[in-house]
Amino acid sequence: MNTAAKLGAYALGLAVVFGGALGVGRAVGPVAEPPPTQSHAAMTKAQEGHEGRKSEKSQEHGTPEQTSGDTPGGLQVSQNGYTLNPLTPIETGKATDFRFAVTGPDGRPVTEYQVEHDKKLHFIVVSRDLTTFLHLHPEMTPDGIWSVGLTLPAAGAYRAFADFAPTGGEKLTLGADLQAAGDYRPQPLPEASRSSKVGDYTVSLDGDLVPGRASKLTLSVSKDGEPVTDLQPYLGAYGHLVALRAGDLAYLHVHPEQSEKAGPQITFYAEVPSIGDYRLFLDFKHGDEVRTADFTVRATQGDATAAEPSAPHGH
């Protein structure tokens, strides 16, 4: 993007922030303070003059480790002084240039991020019924406004997660609700299954989720019944796994095991905080295309009964 385009994008971002009809300006707070006609330099200068606006949040920020504790990620829109601010309304079923900002303890958009899994920020959108899953990689303007093409396919409640680590800070997953207007037909949680079909591919899952410890999960990819041994690297590994708890969409930490082998097996360690049902979404790349396999897994206390079919969920 050239400078003019960047400035244009920035102005557009501010225009969105200032769109009173959107009703987001107040939620965004300091992002919206400078008038949209000011240059970036002027904006920065203006904000520097506003020391009084720094909230108590920034004074408490010295010990971020204390506040994340054992609470799973993704349940809060604001944590450790960092806040996820959606800036664009959603139109159901329509492609949207969705914009958001992550503001830091000083109230300004965060612009410096650590690269994790090849990206500065991972943006995950799931429907509240856990049937739709999108894993996106937005682009950031120098001013810290993120944008990404987003289509919410059907009416309903969605949760958007920003998974990132600000430079000099700890890793965070913030979650915000997105609403797509219309006639909402929630789907029941898919039955527990150890196998997922996606196109010509079948992915099978071995391993159990055991609360309170790192659970080893091995996913095996086959195509037309043959093991796939030439998986392509995706986000610095041969697969990327997201795990969400049914009921509250807690977003869990999952670490890939570094492997030199391009399949058919991909191994992860997942830490689940409690018993219950979880949805796992595995992104893998083969034939230059990223596909997503999904599973429902029940975490039980301490033994291997998670492989049994799950009981009906009462709907």
User: Which residues contact Cu ion by CB under 5 A?
Assistant: 122
Residue with tokens 């914009």: 99
Q: Which is nearer to Cu ion, 60 or 116 (CB)?
A: 116
The residue among 120, 148, 124, 163 whose CA lies nearest residue 280 is 124
Q: How far apart are CA 19 and CA 31, in angstroms?
A: 13
> To the nearest whole angstrom, how small is the minimum distance from the Cβ of residue 135 to Cu ion?
5
Structure tokens at 155: 């009416």
Q: Which is nearer to Cu ion, 57 or 119 (CB)?
A: 119
Task: Please name the residues in contact with 261: beta carbons below 8 A apart, sequence gap of 6 or more.
Answer: 229, 238
Q: Which is nearer to Cu ion, 122 or 291 (CB)?
A: 122
Backbone dihedral region for residue 182 (phi beyond 0: left; psi -120 to 50: alpha; all else: beta): left
> To the nearest whole angstrom, how small is the minimum distance from the Cβ of residue 123 to Cu ion?
7
Q: Which is nearer to Cu ion, 108 or 240 (CB)?
A: 240
Q: Which helix (H) or strand (E) holds 9?
A: helix 3-18
CA 115-90-103 angle, 5° bins: 40
> To the nearest whole angstrom, how small is the minimum distance from the Cβ of residue 313 to Cu ion?
29
Q: Which is nearer to Cu ion, 108 or 122 (CB)?
A: 122
The residue among 146, 110, 123, 97 whose CA lies nearest residue 30 is 110
Q: How far apart are CA 265 and CA 249, in angstroms?
A: 27
Q: Which is nearer to Cu ion, 7 or 290 (CB)?
A: 290
> To the nearest whole angstrom, how small is the minimum distance from the Cβ of residue 122 to Cu ion?
3
Q: Which residue is nearest to Cu ion (CB)?
A: 122
> To the nearest whole angstrom, how small is the minimum distance from the Cβ of residue 241 to Cu ion?
11
